[in-house]
């Protein structure tokens, strides 16, 4: 059980060997949350295929390939600035670096498909290129059939793009779902699920890794670009002020509530976030029926959304010292026989 989807994706990559070695399948629940993004991903790739020399279209396609972990993370702006030079470098250009060459090869394969396949087969081809599986492929097939019906009599790539653009901008495309609670608790499956998604479910054994202080309870973060307003985030301050006004009006029937100042509201927002994170952790801990295992490694990534968890390269250089979640220290005092130090690993049998 993890706090962020990116943590779950990292674990899924590390446990790929379980099926071959022990016949244990890994089910990453957050994969299903990406189904609603499939029409948008397909649209951006089709727009690139239709107009490959547009810097915006090229960058959008590269972003999708990067998000799907098909190409290494790199400076996409530099690649998209001169599309022709990136896609078709001449003999006088310097040799491209391996990550750039890998990205170029993917893009050129997409463009070659435009020449070799009829337009009505491009969408299933893109689904295979993005390595969709299971319900994702079923969603792609449903989307392709929907577009084919819409463009009867005016069948072309531009017509397909127009219909797909309308679907993305005006409605929420219903993906093909196969999720039930039984799917989360199947035997001989290792289920990787976020704490939010786990509400109402339970397992015999629950493992909660990556319990670092900067994740739970975490600290409110102020982007550098917003600090000209002060040491607070305007959106969080506004929420705290609105919350105070609404509560005062409906609970105390006060038509003129005292709205807190920005710094006071920011402090209140931090307290509310901390309380919510601890409530969420409590929900996660109570999902276990027989064994609860919690851990916080001595080092971790600065931000999970920028940490690449593939098996290539040296990832240790991106790690830094981390403090364990305060809950672990509190439980250590209550269950000293169940705690292993200094790794801040706790094992609690019920």
pLDDT for residue 350: 42
pLDDT by residue (tens digit) across 293-303? 888 888 888 77
The mean pLDDT value for 9-38 works out to: 79
**pTM for the structure as a whole:** 0.56
pLDDT at 313: 47
The string of pLDDT tens digits covering residues 115-171 is: 999 888 999 999 999 988 777 888 888 888 989 888 888 888 899 999 888 888 876
- 79: phi > 0 → left, psi -120 to 50 → alpha, else beta; which? alpha
Q: What angle do CA 301, 303, 307 make, to 5 degrees?
A: 65
Span of 50-54, 240-244, 252-256, 268-272 with lowest mean pLDDT = 252-256
For 312-339, the pLDDT digits (tens) are 444 555 788 888 888 888 888 877 766 5
Read off the pLDDT of residues 162-202 as tens digits, 9 standing for 90 and up.
988 888 887 656 666 555 556 777 777 889 998 988 888 88
Segment 208-220 mean pLDDT: 85
């Amino acid at each position: 059980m993890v706090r962020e989807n990116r943590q779950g994706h990292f674990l899924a990559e590390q446990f790929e060997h379980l099926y071959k070695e022990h016949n244990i399948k890994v089910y990453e629940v957050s994969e299903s949350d990406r189904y609603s993004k499939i029409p948008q991903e397909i649209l951006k790739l089709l727009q690139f295929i239709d107009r490959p020399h547009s810097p915006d279209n090229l960058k959008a396609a590269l972003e999708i390939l990067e998000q799907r972990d098909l190409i290494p993370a790199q400076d996409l702006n530099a690649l998209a600035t001169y599309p022709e030079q990136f896609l078709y470098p001449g003999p006088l250009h310097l040799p491209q670096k391996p990550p750039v060459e890998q990205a170029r090869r993917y893009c050129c394969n997409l463009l070659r498909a435009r020449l070799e396949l009829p337009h009505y087969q491009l969408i299933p081809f893109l689904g295979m290129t993005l390595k969709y599986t299971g319900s994702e492929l079923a969603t792609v097939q449903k989307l392709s059939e929907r577009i084919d019906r819409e463009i009867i009599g005016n069948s072309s790539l531009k017509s397909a793009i127009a219909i797909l653009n309308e679907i993305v901008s005006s409605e929420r495309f219903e993906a093909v779902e196969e999720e039930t609670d039984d799917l989360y608790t199947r035997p001989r499956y290792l289920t990787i699920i976020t704490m939010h998604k786990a509400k109402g479910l339970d397992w015999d054994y629950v493992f909660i890794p990556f319990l670092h202080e900067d994740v739970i309870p975490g600290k409110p973060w102020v982007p550098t670009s917003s600090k000209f307003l002060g040491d607070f985030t305007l959106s969080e301050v506004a929420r705290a002020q609105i919350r105070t006004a609404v509560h005062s009006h409906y609970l105390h029937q006060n038509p003129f509530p005292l709205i807190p100042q920005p710094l006071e509201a920011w402090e209140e927002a931090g307290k509310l976030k901390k309380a919510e994170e601890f409530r969420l952790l409590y929900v996660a801990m109570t999902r276990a029926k027989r064994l609860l295992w919690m851990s916080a490694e001595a080092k971790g990534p600065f931000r999970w959304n920028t940490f690449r968890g593939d098996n290539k390269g040296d990832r240790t250089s991106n790690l830094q010292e981390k403090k364990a979640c305060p809950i672990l220290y509190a439980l250590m005092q209550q269950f000293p026989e169940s705690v292993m130090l200094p790794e801040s690993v706790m094992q609690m049998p019920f």
